[in-house]
Amino acid sequence: MSETSDLIQFLLDPRIKIVSTALDLLLGMTATNEGNNTLLSHLKPLSKNLHARYLMNDSLDEKILSILVNISGAELDENKVVCLVQLICKGIPKQPRQIELLSMLLANITTSEQGCIALCSGDRSKFLVPLLSKLLESPETSPAVVADADAVSDSSLDPFRYLASVLMNVTRTNEGRLLVLRQILEESPMSAPSSPSPSPSPSPS
């Protein structure tokens, strides 16, 4: 087995510290094109083992998503795109930094037509809808109270900022346009069921 294969196997180790170290080494590989290409050549076992660890530990999730963001910047064929989409469709993380990384990953994936189709087709479209809901809701964010305003990162204020790029990307395809249109209609107040009118009180005789 190669060193890369060994690292990928360490992702299944029951000791979190070992898994974290393996993720650090894999993340380091993504700093070069050669490293990214090596990981992409092992994408099937890599995505399988990352899937087993995803959404189980916040610190691990950040490393997993960082790895995926970096390798998704390369040119991906349809099979690799589907592989990445299936991995992240496991669920949506809770922490702002992980949501930001997930949005960056989706923005990378949807730069290609096959990425948009993979994300907007079938059951996988159910994964994108909650994220689109967050974008379309446009919630007001309370300013954080800190001593130094420069210490507040953009991601802490708006972890969904990259979803605007995702929205623009997916609407280049028929599947994406239909998905976004359905979501807009569902979010529209006009689509909400109206409350039944109260029955008129009987007139006193």
* DSSP collapsed to 3 states, 28-82: HHCCCHHHHHHHHHCHHHHHHHHHHHCCCCHHHHHHHHHHHHHHCCCCCCHHHHH
Task: Please determine, for residue 191, whether its predicted confidence score (pLDDT) is greater than 70.
Answer: no
Higher pLDDT, 122 or 201: 122
Query: Picking from 106-110, 155-159, 176-180, which range would have the lowest pLDDT averaged per residue?
Result: 155-159
- Report residue 17 as tokens: 């510290």
- Topology (CATH) of 3-136+157-185: Leucine-rich Repeat Variant (1.25.10)
pLDDT above 90 as % of the chain: 49
pTM of the complete model: 0.80
pLDDT digits (tens, 9 = 90+) for 52-77: 999 999 999 999 999 999 999 988 98
Distance of CA 182 to the CA centre of its chain: 20
Where helices occur in the chain by DSSP H, the ranges are: 3-10, 16-29, 33-41, 43-53, 58-71, 78-88, 96-109, 113-120, 125-137, 154-157, 163-170, 174-187
Which tokens is 56 given? Answer: 């189980």
Mean pLDDT (whole number) for 107-133: 85
